[in-house]
Chains A and B, each alone.
Chain A
């Protein structure tokens, strides 16, 4: 049965003979799976996939890493983080590097695990709160439990972001979007459905091989009809209303703020910050972190890569000074990053230039 489904979806895509279509996947996990499965390699030339800025590691500005390193090295804080952030270069070093210099940095699976660590610690514990709609509820849940159980030594360093404003910013960059299934499992589908009225098309996609191929087949099918569309191809997980309990939880602790996206700059209302009543849990205020300038490597073109303005192969450090073992930019660190994917999957086919 699974093979039949894969075959059907595959045939719909490989036999596509319509006009060129640009499809943008907005979610880094989609980018990762699309590369891993080799989906680009079976598509006809007329179907192109572009990777959007949906990897939280990639869009997190350099200054954020600097803030975390400041806490770890200067304030003797135990930093807890998802593994994804460990190797992202800050202005001077990455968290992995800071750990070699004696900083205490612990990788955790869940924000709730960070809270558990805090319970057994006398020192301050800070969780690096990054991620989109999918990840924020867990971070708020940790906050809620910290409040309820009076765990005073736990705080968040927030760089959370939300997608709706980013869709607006990216509106013209593709013919259709592959919407991020797990973001919408929390947020619901209204904001994407509303985009149809502005002429923006897209489908909600899951993450397995058959789900991604089916969602792409659906885009191809709907595009032929010539008008904007929205289809939820992932209703087994994504409901129109999303997860109301998660939405209420987040609304209780956080509110919209302007946020800096690496590459896209500051997007109004695209971030989440702790509400006033919970600012004692805000690591920036609690430790009076001085403003970090965040000097990215001047040769790094991650910003342009994230906006689709250049390919990783156009960057002079790509594949030479900047590789997955020695990343210069965030897009090379995260396995969801476009540069890492290009490097790992051998798309670095342009001849190397002489420097």
Chain B
């Protein structure tokens, strides 16, 4: 393994996992240390979910949101994925000397608005200022606590043979919006990040059935990365159908310009939900009736036909092939 930190260690793929295993897990290991989005902790008769997430998005303002909105959605969604109603959040800012106060206020307004929409309260915060060049404009860390609904047990380790795999909308839009906002490639498209708090979707599906096995938000590394994580945690095979993947045409256009695959582009307002096939229609109908769930679709299934830990794609020509494992930094492929 490498001796220094690489950008790829933050990509959410194999190398992130290596870093976690070798450095963090090795020293932090305890019964509550989790591979899921949030830890589930017993407290009296209740179960709490507890999560934390750092945000360093560049640029901090992008079509469809800003780093403030993102920092609320990220933690709210991590809690929601455990079946926990998000309740309280804290936030810590690291600001770069010289950062305009008007921009900071824009970010904070977005946080307040998003927190309100998500039904959470910001209860504590911290501010540090770093001298110019020590950080890039603004970094935010949010932590959150939520209360698990009574009988809910969701985990990346609970996918079962025969389950259906749903996504709550078109994939890769946040990643595409950020790529464009960086203005490195001269590409323009009217596209907004999918960034949104999603507790209402989780609540709605949990009310429909007790049999939700997995809920994950497909953030860094995209849906492809999340599917590999689930396949590995649950020790199951996963099969998806290329043609059933909901992708906005503009995202497809951007991906074909840069030689990228929307399966590995980040989402910030999309869930992967895994439940028995018999629940599929009911869940899709429920999701599609709600904001941010209109584009929900079934993209494949959990299956014993494939090796545990593998993700297989049925391609446009009807062939089946392994989905390449996401690795490292996303590099546009041109030649």
Interface string of A70-114 (1 = CB under 8 A from B): 000000000000111011000000001000100000010100010
Known contacts A107-B184, A113-B186; is-contact A38 B327 (Cβ 8 Å): no
Cβ contact within 8 Å between B335 and A135 = yes
Which secondary structure dominates where chain B touches chain A?
Answer: loop
B185 within 8 Å of A by Cβ? yes
Instruction: Report how far A109 CA is from B329 CA in the complex, Å.
Output: 16
Smallest CB-CB separation from B14: which chain A residue?
A325
Cβ contact within 8 Å between A41 and B320 = yes
Smallest CB-CB separation from A82: which chain B residue?
B334
A287 within 8 Å of B by Cβ? no
| Selected contact of A82 from candidates B310, B325, B329, B335, CB within 8 Å | B335
Looking at A37, A56, A213, the one whose CB has the most chain B CB atoms below 10 A away is A37
Interface residues of B in 55-71 (CB under 8 A from A): none
A130 within 8 Å of B by Cβ? yes
A290 within 8 Å of B by Cβ? no
Known contacts A100-B4, A107-B184; is-contact A37 B319 (Cβ 8 Å): yes
B26 within 8 Å of A by Cβ? no
Cβ contact within 8 Å between B333 and A42 = no
B112 within 8 Å of A by Cβ? no
Within the complex, what minimum Cβ distance (angstroms) separates B240 from chain A?
Answer: 13
B29 within 8 Å of A by Cβ? no
B106 within 8 Å of A by Cβ? no
Instruction: Report how far A38 CA is from B316 CA in the complex, Å.
Output: 9
Instruction: Report how far A130 CA is from B315 CA in the complex, Å.
Output: 31
| Selected contact of B335 from candidates A42, A84, A113, CB within 8 Å | A84
Instruction: Report how far A82 CA is from B324 CA in the complex, Å.
Output: 21
A189 within 8 Å of B by Cβ? no
Smallest CB-CB separation from A97: which chain B residue?
B6
A6 within 8 Å of B by Cβ? yes
- Which range contains the number of B residues in contact with the other chain? 35 or more
A303 within 8 Å of B by Cβ? no
Instruction: Report how far A119 CA is from B162 CA in the complex, Å.
Output: 58
Interface residues of B in 316-332 (CB under 8 A from A): 316-322, 324-325, 327-329, 331-332
Cβ contact within 8 Å between A213 and B317 = yes
B258 within 8 Å of A by Cβ? yes
Known contacts A38-B313, A324-B328; is-contact A83 B333 (Cβ 8 Å): yes
B15 within 8 Å of A by Cβ? yes
| Selected contact of A84 from candidates B257, B316, B318, B334, CB within 8 Å | B334
Q: Enumerate 30 A-B pairs (CB-CB under 8 Å) in ascending A order.
A: A10-B317, A37-B315, A38-B320, A39-B317, A41-B321, A42-B317, A42-B318, A56-B335, A57-B335, A82-B335, A83-B331, A84-B333, A87-B328, A96-B7, A96-B329, A107-B331, A109-B186, A109-B257, A131-B335, A209-B315, A213-B317, A325-B18, A325-B327, A325-B328, A326-B2, A335-B259, A335-B333, A344-B324, A344-B325, A346-B322
What is A's interface to B at a CB cutoff of 8 Å? 6, 10, 32, 35-39, 41-42, 56-57, 82-84, 86-87, 96, 100, 107, 109, 113, 130-131, 134-135, 209, 213, 323-326, 335-336, 344-346
Additional 5 contacts, C-beta under 8 A, given A38-B317, A344-B324: A38-B315, A41-B319, A57-B335, A83-B331, A325-B18
